[in-house]
């Protein structure tokens, strides 16, 4: 290695090094930037010559970071992110689009009722939603702003609580306790948990069973029985008298509905302000 130069290496070299280190190879970095592998290799070679250090071990099966490369990579990533974030804050336009993903039931019950409030806060922002079929699919969903159900702890993601999960026996007007129960399968506590924690022994039998809270609530609205319904998801049904609480004890849980995003996505002040306005609309 030649003697290192003093000062900051060209930004182009640093960006290519970051991509190669993050993606694990020169070919992947070349695809990200639309370059040839040879061009990527040349830029990284120039950076190594500038620094006077070897950043990658070249082997027949590919490349891997050296110890010095592993130490340098997070410093470069933090610096590039800070530069991008501060440039956006100083010179960027206000965000014009907000895209959020979640289960169809969560989009329907939490996002749709909040849109009027959000549009009052951000009249120039276009809202787009992406529905996923299963909660487990959210990990692979490319839309980074998401509504998730759980306890607020997802590695690498920030999360703000929209509403805690509270389960209450509810039914359509005219349906009384003693009518068949509507069973809901899944991770939420069910009727047996409710009976155990509230001391009820006269629990009616179940006639239908669903794997979706949205479907269970719809069945209850149609008079098919009593559902242990989610208060946040049933809010519109309760306000519009399609369902009513039955005066029985509620069941608080440790779960809730959360607005979540990758930690690195909301470091811009403008982007975070947009997310916080959306969160305010969801909570109101």
pLDDT in tens, 52-66: 999 999 988 889 999
| 93 vs 88: CA distance, rounded Å | 8
239 and 174, same domain (yes or no): yes
The answer as to whether 121 is a domain residue is yes
The two beta strands, 97-103 and 206-210, are unpaired
- Residues 6 or more apart in contact with residue 219 via CB below 8 angstroms: 182, 208, 210, 225, 227
Tally of domains within the chain: 3
pLDDT of residue 127: 95
- Cβ–Cβ < 8 Å for 76, 17: yes
Tell me the pLDDT tens digit for each residue of 245-261. 999 999 999 999 999 99
| 135 vs 148: CA distance, rounded Å | 8
50 and 84, same domain (yes or no): yes
Of the listed ranges 75-89, 109-123, 156-170, 215-229, the one predicted with least confidence = 75-89
Strands (E) located in 2-154: 56-59, 62-65, 97-103, 126-132, 146-150
73 and 104, same domain (yes or no): no
pLDDT of residue 93: 56
pTM: 0.69
What is the span of the domain harbouring residue 173?
Answer: 164-254
pLDDT of residue 116: 96
Q: How confident is the model at residue 84 (pLDDT cuts 50, 70, 90)?
A: confident
- Cβ–Cβ < 8 Å for 59, 106: no
pLDDT of residue 7: 77
Report the mean per-residue pLDDT for the chain.
91
- For residue 61, give the CATH number of its domain: 1.10.10.10
Residue 232: pLDDT above 90?
yes
Q: What average pLDDT does range 89-104 have in this prediction?
A: 78
pLDDT of residue 201: 83
The answer as to whether 71 is a domain residue is yes
pLDDT of residue 264: 77
- DSSP annotation of 284 reads -
The answer as to whether 214 is a domain residue is yes
102 and 87, same domain (yes or no): no
Question: In whole angstroms, what separates CA 266 from the centre of its chain?
Answer: 12
- DSSP annotation of 263 reads G
Q: How confident is the model at residue 43 (pLDDT cuts 50, 70, 90)?
A: very high
pLDDT of residue 8: 87
10 Å CB burial of residue 130 (0-12, 13-18, 19+) is middle
């Amino acid at each position: 290695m030649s003697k290192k130069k003093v000062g900051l290496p060209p930004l182009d070299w640093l960006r290519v090094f970051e991509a190669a280190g993050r993606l694990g190879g020169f070919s992947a970095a070349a695809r990200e930037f639309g370059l040839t592998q040879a061009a990527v290799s040349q830029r990284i070679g120039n950076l190594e010559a500038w620094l006077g250090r070897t950043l990658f071990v070249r082997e027949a099966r590919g490349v891997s970071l050296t110890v010095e490369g592993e130490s340098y990579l997070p410093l470069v990533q933090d610096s590039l992110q800070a530069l991008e974030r501060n440039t956006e804050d100083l010179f960027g336009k206000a965000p014009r689009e907000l895209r959020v993903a979640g289960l169809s039931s969560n989009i329907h019950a939490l996002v749709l009722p909040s849109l009027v409030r959000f549009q009052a806060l951000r009249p120039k922002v276009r809202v787009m939603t992406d529905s996923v079929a299963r909660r487990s699919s959210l990990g692979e969903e490319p839309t980074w702003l998401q509504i998730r159900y759980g306890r607020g702890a997802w590695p690498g993601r920030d999360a703000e609580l929209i509403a805690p999960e509270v389960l209450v026996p509810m039914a359509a007007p005219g349906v009384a306790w003693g009518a068949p129960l509507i069973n809901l399968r899944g991770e939420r506590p069910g009727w047996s948990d409710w009976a155990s924690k509230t001391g009820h022994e006269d629990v009616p039998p179940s006639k239908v069973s669903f794997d979706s809270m949205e479907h269970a609530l719809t069945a209850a609205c149609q008079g098919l029985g009593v559902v242990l319904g989610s208060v946040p998801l049933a809010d519109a049904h309760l306000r519009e008298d399609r369902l009513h609480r039955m005066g029985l004890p509620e069941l608080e849980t440790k779960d809730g509905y959360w607005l979540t995003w990758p930690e690195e996505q909301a470091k811009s002040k403008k982007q975070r302000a947009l997310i916080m306005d959306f969160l305010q609309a969801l909570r109101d």
